Chains A and B, each alone.
Chain A
Amino acid sequence: MSEEYLYFPGCSLKATGRAYEESLLTLFRLLDIKLDELEDWNCCGATSYMSIDEEKAFALSARNLALAQKTGKKELLAPCAACYLVLKKTQDYVERYPSMREYVEASLKAANLPMGDKIRTRHPLEVLYNDIGLDRIRSKVVRKWTGGPVACYYGCQAVRPYYEVDKPVDPTRMEELLEAAGIPTVKYSLKTKCCGGSLTGTIHKVGVRLNAILLKEAARNGAKVVATLCPLCQFNLDAYQGEIRKQTQQNLDMPILYFTQLLGWALGGDARALGFRRSISGQAPMKQWLSASKEVAAHV
């Protein structure tokens, strides 16, 4: 297979979101698609930097796009929703505001780099849906899912304000991909509602309350697992379940997994290679279905 994508991990996928990188690489390997990590990448600019110095944040972000363009590739895969959004936003602002373009161009020039304005930033969800397609996913399924229904949670950054990944209010592609892999999903009205973002660190009570709402509603709709596509969403939903348990006296222990982990599992990936052990919550229910895995014949 000659399919390959240039890939920008960003900081999360090397730290709290390692399970995302591990499962993404595993999944793409199972699909015979090569992922090349962008060499010498730096911080995407992220939301925190953006709110302190917008120009510098855009210049920082633009450097990644410039490096990508230098490789001769046309596209750059950004799995982290924040990275995805910032890279998109950089290109949008540079195109829209001449003064921003001037600043970014000058900054890159100082580093002897071109503008990365020909690079198309892409998200794995949309790549799997559009480029690889449901049929190919379906044909590669080798393992029967026994983990129960899944609530697909998209968060905000991947679908708004840019909506190439999916529809901004009622996205459905994650559900379609999981269903194609034989994983049942539930109706989930809060799929694009706020996970609290960095509020869990700053105004902790509010952040945790937002997470409690999301988890409670997922459980009410019968979900046993929540699937995410963003390292920050995953972390928030995963890390505070103990606290929520104490506050609400709810019996809550739900695995919060990347959609790439679930797809990778259905496609026969190894549990360790998919990073399941990195989850804080839901280890007990996960143990049940990870050990009870049944191979099914591929539909090919």
Chain B
Amino acid sequence: MSETNGTARIGVYVCHCGTNIAGTVDVKAVAEYAAGLPGVLVSREYKYMCSDPGQELIRSDVHDHNLNRIVVASCSPLLHEHTFRTAAEKAGLNPYLASMVNIREQDSWVHLDKELATRKAIDLVRAAVRRIRFNKPLEKGHVAIDPNVLVVGGGIAGIHAALTMANAGKHVYLVEREPTIGGHMAKFDKTFPTLDCAACILTPKMTSVKAHKNITLMTLSEVTGINGYVGNYDVTVTRHPRYIHEDLCAGCMQCIEACVYKQPRFDDEFNMGLGKRKPVYIPFPQAVPQVVLIDPETCIQFKKGTCKKTCVEACGDRHAIDFEQKDEVEKIKVGTVVLSTGFQAVAPEKVPYYRYGVYPNVYTSLEVERLINASGPTGGDVVLRDGTKPKSVGIIHCVGSRDEYTNRWCSRVCCMYSLKLAHLIKEHTDAEVFNFYIDMRTPGKGFEEFYQRLLKEGVHFIRGRVAEVTDWADDPTEEGKLVLRVEDTMSAFVRRIPVDMVVLSMGLEPHADAGEVRRLFNIGCGTEGFFTERHPKLAPVSTFTDGVFLAGCCQGPKDIPDTVAQAGAAAAEVLALIDAGSIEIEPNTAYVVEEACSGCRTCIGLCPYSAITFLDDKKKASVNPVLCKGCGTCVAGCPSGSLRQNLFEDEQIFEEIEGVLDYA
């Protein structure tokens, strides 16, 4: 097939890798054997092939012996394929005419018997020599990058990523499905361990998002479609009705005042249902955008159509209220995506033995954040549902975490936020506070110091997983209290601790619809449902879909500093792509031999990357090389053999198999 077939002039280089390979494999014998294989003109062994002198060997041999194929027997291609391809290129060859044989990870490192290891190396080299005769010169592809960016999710991760990229002059579309940005952080009172006020540090950033000339903020909106590939994504955003014209509303809130409901009477989502709101409302005082919205579920006009519409009257000439608003679909073009869709707190009903919803004074941690907050439903008074101050409070750690019946993972933030809540509750109420923990996990800057501070403040710590919260009073001192039954594993007996208020430190888990987001953006997730990064250490914000990056808790539970750091990293990755202007695409992709394609479409359903389309005019399949990852599924699946793959042509694979099986 290749014009050089039969006239291949091959150079073989066997690397010692110090003693890594040479300690187990007789490298000299391998090189000597290779020298006798058909087409091999030069065969050498060298201490470190990846070093400059090693690469220079290749260059001078190509020059002196007119070589046109290079085989390097050394380590994994993951490490040095790029190195040797570049060396071949410098010597004037097409880089895809150089190939590697892994005799380290797959040979010397995993075998003890020197003779057998040497035989294996010989077999592998012979296979590579036979295979490389069929290598073709290939060219890398290039794709231009659209400089616009999509950020999905407007919590602290999305906000920070959006601002970073917008400040670098890129246009950012920030899509948030709630009526305001801010995410979970906006609900927190203070942040651990420094106890700075969450709103004070978050709201200026929220305002900057709205004011930034490079950010288009889309609230009450969801990404409902995405097509294309890295650098060129066509995104469909569905904007749900607010029933208020955002551009006309001044945020004066006179409509709220004028609503026919004189008193707020519907559960206020932002305050976790502890406070009440009207059908027309603003989620919280610093909401961004600073405009109201109408909830059609509770508004009389929507339910009965007979409201006096006092809100419209109050709005007057602004005409910002519009009961006729419908879903609107908007199409945008971007080159890259940052997913920062966040988490959801585990539902307390999943842990029934703590009786959330049964005993009114069992609260979730997010509810208590709102109780402590000065702009919360009680104006910052930590009080029970009957208005009294608790004299004793039990905080249960790891609820919905580290538990095989709910979620197995550690949610990472609960120890610290439980400490923070313990401190704040004590500060607000002077109550006696008990923490019930499995292990105290304080591995962050200033975290352990904060724990020590709490110990000095007189907060009680009991090591043990609480078995249940009950109102069963075993003696008169327990009457009217909530009793936590727990094995104190430090003192090895079962205790009953009566308290007035129980706080459940709820764990973090992926959003209920994270799976849909994952499928939409074609990225992976672990068994627990958090999105998977490309590499846990070396590519922590990338995904297996080029141009899609991750930031924040959608990738796994993390605290605010880590979230912001990750958002910054995602922004930097995006900026690096954009500023390069285009990206290189490896040529090891599948292609269709059109004459042989019967148009059966088997391959289209098989492709995990949606890279194959059907050409209606020709009735043939066609592979988009930008989307193709070279997995080979379609090649194997094609019934007529009309799908082939660069660098993995049938001839190459058969030669390699025959080569490896041809025992010397």
A interface list, Cβ under 8 A from B: 167-170, 187, 189-190, 213, 217, 220
Contact = CB atoms under 8 A, between A and B. Distances in A.
Contacts of B470: 189-190
A109 B472 CA distance: 51
A190 B472 contact: yes
A169 B353 contact: yes
Contacts of A190: 470, 472
Contact of B352 (A167, A213, A220): A167
8 contacts: A167-B352, A169-B352, A170-B352, A187-B471, A190-B472, A213-B474, A217-B473, A220-B473
A168 B470 CA distance: 15
A170 B473 contact: no
Nearest to A214: B472
A220 B472 CA distance: 9
A217 B475 CA distance: 11
Interface in B348-375: 352-353, 355, 358
B358 A170 contact: yes
A189 B471 contact: yes
Given A167-B352, A213-B474, 4 more contacts: A170-B355, A170-B358, A217-B473, A220-B473
Interface string B455-482: 0000000000000001111100000000
Nearest to B352: A169
A213 B475 CA distance: 11
A68 to B, nearest CB: 32
B352 to A, nearest CB: 4
B interface: dominant SS: loop
Contacts of A169: 352-353
A24 to B, nearest CB: 29
A179 to B, nearest CB: 17
A170 B359 CA distance: 12
A156 to B, nearest CB: 13
A80 to B, nearest CB: 25
Contacts of A217: 472-473
Interface of B: 352-353, 355, 358, 470-474
Contacts of B471: 187, 189
B319 to A, nearest CB: 51
A159 to B, nearest CB: 11
B353 to A, nearest CB: 5
A168 B474 contact: no
B350 to A, nearest CB: 11
Q: Which of B353, B355, B358, B472: most chain A CB closer than 10 A?
A: B472
Contacts, number: 19
Contacts of B472: 189-190, 213, 217
Q: Which of A169, A190, A220: most chain B CB closer than 10 A?
A: A169
Nearest to B355: A170
A167 B355 CA distance: 13
A189 B484 CA distance: 13
A168 B353 CA distance: 9
Q: Which 7 A-B pairs have the closest CB atoms?
A: A169-B352, A189-B470, A189-B472, A169-B353, A217-B472, A189-B471, A190-B472
A177 B352 CA distance: 22
Nearest to B470: A189
A60 to B, nearest CB: 31
Nearest to A220: B473
Contacts of A167: 352
Nearest to B357: A170
B479 to A, nearest CB: 9
Contact of A168 (B352, B355, B358): B352
Nearest to A187: B471
A288 B474 CA distance: 31
A287 B634 CA distance: 81
Contacts of B353: 169
Contacts of B352: 167-170
Nearest to A193: B472
A169 B348 CA distance: 14
A88 B327 CA distance: 50
B415 to A, nearest CB: 26
A187 B473 CA distance: 13
Nearest to B359: A189
Contacts of B358: 170
A212 B473 CA distance: 13
Contacts of A187: 471
B573 to A, nearest CB: 46
A187 B470 CA distance: 12
B142 to A, nearest CB: 56
Nearest to B474: A213
Contacts of A168: 352
Nearest to A170: B352
B426 to A, nearest CB: 28
B458 to A, nearest CB: 30
Nearest to A217: B472
Contacts of B355: 170, 189
B54 to A, nearest CB: 57
Contacts of A189: 355, 470-472
Nearest to B354: A169
Nearest to A168: B352
Nearest to A188: B472
A217 B471 CA distance: 10
Nearest to B471: A189
A44 to B, nearest CB: 28
A167 B350 CA distance: 12
B168 to A, nearest CB: 53
A79 to B, nearest CB: 25
B429 to A, nearest CB: 26
A167 B352 CA distance: 9
A168 B350 CA distance: 12
A167 B353 CA distance: 11
Contacts of B474: 213
A187 B352 CA distance: 16
A168 B349 CA distance: 12
A286 B471 CA distance: 29
B95 to A, nearest CB: 55
A120 B474 CA distance: 40
Contacts of A220: 473
B463 to A, nearest CB: 24
A220 B471 CA distance: 11
A189 B472 CA distance: 6
A285 B353 CA distance: 34
B521 to A, nearest CB: 37
A213 B355 CA distance: 20
Contacts of B473: 217, 220
A220 to B, nearest CB: 7
A187 B472 CA distance: 11
A189 B468 CA distance: 11
